[in-house]
Amino acid sequence: MEYEFIFNLQGGDNFRDLGGNLTNNGVKVKNKKLIRASHLNKLTDQDVTVLMEYGMGKIIDLRGLKEKNASPDKEIPLIENIHIAIFDDMRIPVLDNGFLKELFPKIKLLEEVLLQHRERMLQVYSNFVTDETSIKACKKIFQILLNNEDNGAILFHCTAGKDRTGFVSALILAALGVQHDMIMKDYMLTNQYLSNKVEHTIKKLDAIGVNSKIIHKARGFFMAQEEYLDKSFCTITEKYGSLDIFLSDKLDLTVKERVKLNEIYLM
């Protein structure tokens, strides 16, 4: 699909409206209802104006408490900011100066982290649909979605807008019946926003003498990978039987509520 609105902001990247995605029945997701994003702590006043004029009505912060307190969202008057942590601890390495500053002096530890990252991330994506904190968070998110009939767009974000935001976006789109290939395309689009940042990090790894083979593997370290998101949906099927059963039995979404979601978020 061609995205109908991607935000060009001064202090934020990886911001986009989920509108325009097609369901299996050929119906589009509405614009100005669901915005996925990365961190909000560097937004400029002009960025805030852009988001407000677009119709942002509510913010959901998916980060853990420690992350949230370390880099608080920019305060936006009259916009409710709801903190719903997907995990209550830090399980996903975030590509930021703090992470790099901590590990760069410890080359052996850094190399070990990079080599173990794939298995770690597969576990994280499995945990998205098995961890009770994550499941409770998703329940809360869907209840907010159900009570957003006339209140503008909901913006939800983590730090990079890649894993937690990527999973929540995928789950919402799947619940709306969006085609799987479109869900995956939206998820992978994040890599366009991260590529420059990752290449900058790769140069740093090379400069401090990290093993070249590990550097080659590290190119995917901070990127979205199809197998990660597939792990979430495969785990749903293996553990619960189907997405519909997961939504009804674990997230407590009734048939009536599924219909209401469609009415609110589909054209």
Give the span between the Cα atoms of 63 and 81, in whole angstroms.
12
Boundaries of every domain in the chain: 16-265
pLDDT band at 57 (very low <50, low <70, confident <90, very high): very high
> What percent of the chain has pLDDT above 90?
69
pLDDT value at residue 104: 58
Q: Which of 208, 194, 149, 146 is nearest to 172 (CA)?
A: 146
Q: What crossing angle do the helices spanning 226-240 and 164-175 adopt, rounded to 10°?
A: 50
pLDDT value at residue 122: 93
Give the span between the Cα atoms of 57 and 144, in whole angstroms.
12
CA distances from 101 to 77, 84, 151, 225 (A): 34, 28, 41, 25
Q: Which of 83, 53, 62, 73 is nearest to 153 (CA)?
A: 53
pLDDT band at 141 (very low <50, low <70, confident <90, very high): very high
Average pLDDT over residues 92-109: 59
Is residue 192 scored above 70 in pLDDT? yes
- Return the CATH number of the domain spanning residue range 16-265: 3.90.190.10
3-state secondary structure 39-63: CCCCCCHHHHHHHHHHCEEEEEECC
Q: How many CB atoms lie within 10 A of CB 106?
A: 11
Output the furthest CA–CA distance in the chain (Å, rounded). 58
Is residue 187 scored above 70 in pLDDT? yes
Average pLDDT, the chain: 89
Average pLDDT over residues 10-20: 94
What pTM value is reported for the model? Answer: 0.91
From 45-49, 113-117, 140-144, 150-154, the region with the lowest mean pLDDT: 113-117
pLDDT band at 110 (very low <50, low <70, confident <90, very high): low
pLDDT value at residue 13: 87
Is residue 91 scored above 70 in pLDDT? no
Average pLDDT over residues 52-66: 95
Length of the chain: 267
pLDDT in tens, 215-266: 777 667 678 999 999 999 999 999 999 999 999 999 999 999 999 999 999 9
Helix (H, G, I), strand (E, B) or coil at 256: helix
Average pLDDT over residues 194-215: 75
